[in-house]
Amino acid sequence: MNPTSSVRHAIHTSQSNHFTTKELRENFLIEDLFIPGKVTTLYTLYDRFIVGSAQPTGGALSLETPDNLKADFFLQRREIGIINIGETGIVEADGQQFILHNKEALYLGRGTKQVQFSSGPAGSKPLFYFNSAPAHHAYPSKKVSLDQAETVELGTQETSNHRTIRKLLVQGVIETCQLQMGLTELKPGSVWNTMPPHTHDRRMEVYLYFNIPQGQAVCHFMGEPQETRHIWVQNHQAVISPPWSIHSGAGTSNYSFIWGMAGENLDYSDMDIVQPANLR
């Protein structure tokens, strides 16, 4: 198996409820996501979602097609969302160049044949994070800047969850088949994300944590509401969240994270809220 391409199988709750810490991390945590000079992909059998990254350090990096896709090119039957969490970089899609500044997003529709990731200005160090899902229709490619995102503020300083949510690749901002992506930034002094937590049986989700200060960490909570588990996460690591699992977290400092979803619908508000007093 190519060390930059891997597969994760879906896990039933009857298994995960008995996992050790090591087993939880092996099945749900993506640790070595960013590798200098490489494109990485992880294929999960939850909604056949792909989590990946590109960290160009010299020449352009091409989005290669993993063998298990059995496709002529990566986006033959897929769509992809890309968010740059580093310095300015360039994504070239079938000859068209898109300059992505920090926290800007790019959607590429089904049928895009060639995708390359490059550094921007001399010495820039972009970090491209991407999610991909199967697609039934070819929607136009589009860049989404922060001022084009649907932005809301939630939580309060008193409950330690004051945060800004930027919906970048969602219905109302851009057309997609099933992929949705955005990012959440915790305000200084706030540490809780997605509180109160929720589940959504109609969709799976992946969280990428970033902007975690050196020496700090985030505790990601998962599992069924009555059988919660936790995973400690470092900067630039991601957690796979199955449809049956809550997804919430608390950090030893404020931080940011990217959420990506795929599944049954495009209704961002489709979630089953779990009040904190009912968690176990």
What are the sequence ranges of the domains in the chain?
A: 5-137+147-269
Instruction: Determine the Cα–Cα distance for residues 253 and 271; give it in Å rounded to an integer.
Output: 27
Contact assessment for residue 10 and residue 46, using Cβ atoms and an 8 Å cutoff:
yes
Contact assessment for residue 227 and residue 280, using Cβ atoms and an 8 Å cutoff:
yes
Instruction: Determine the Cα–Cα distance for residues 113 and 74; give it in Å rounded to an integer.
Output: 7
Instruction: Determine the Cα–Cα distance for residues 92 and 106; give it in Å rounded to an integer.
Output: 11
* Tens of pLDDT, residues 190-199: 999 999 999 9
pLDDT at site 1: 41
Ranges of H-type helices in the chain:
13-16, 21-28
Which strands make up the sheet holding 78-84, listed edge to edge? Answer: 5-8, 39-44, 49-54, 128-134, 78-84, 105-108, 142-144
DSSP-derived 3-state class of residue 182: strand
Q: How far is CA 120 from CA 92, 94, 236, in A?
A: 12, 18, 21
Contact assessment for residue 5 and residue 51, using Cβ atoms and an 8 Å cutoff:
no
pTM: 0.96
pLDDT at site 2: 55
pLDDT at site 3: 57
Instruction: Determine the Cα–Cα distance for residues 256 and 207; give it in Å rounded to an integer.
Output: 10
- For strands 105-108 and 198-199, give the pairing: unpaired
Instruction: Determine the Cα–Cα distance for residues 227 and 246; give it in Å rounded to an integer.
Output: 10
Q: Which fold has domain 5-137+147-269?
A: Jelly Rolls (2.60.120)
DSSP-derived 3-state class of residue 69: helix
Instruction: Determine the Cα–Cα distance for residues 141 and 93; give it in Å rounded to an integer.
Output: 9
> What residues contact residue 277 under an 8 Å CB cut-off, 6+ apart?
none
Which residues in the chain come in under a pLDDT of 50?
1
Name the helix (H) or strand (E) containing 49. strand 49-54
Alpha-carbon torsion angle 129, 134, 137, 142, nearest 10: 0
Burial class (CB in 10 A: 0-12, 13-18, 19+), 216: middle
As a whole number of Å, the end-to-end CA separation of the chain is: 39
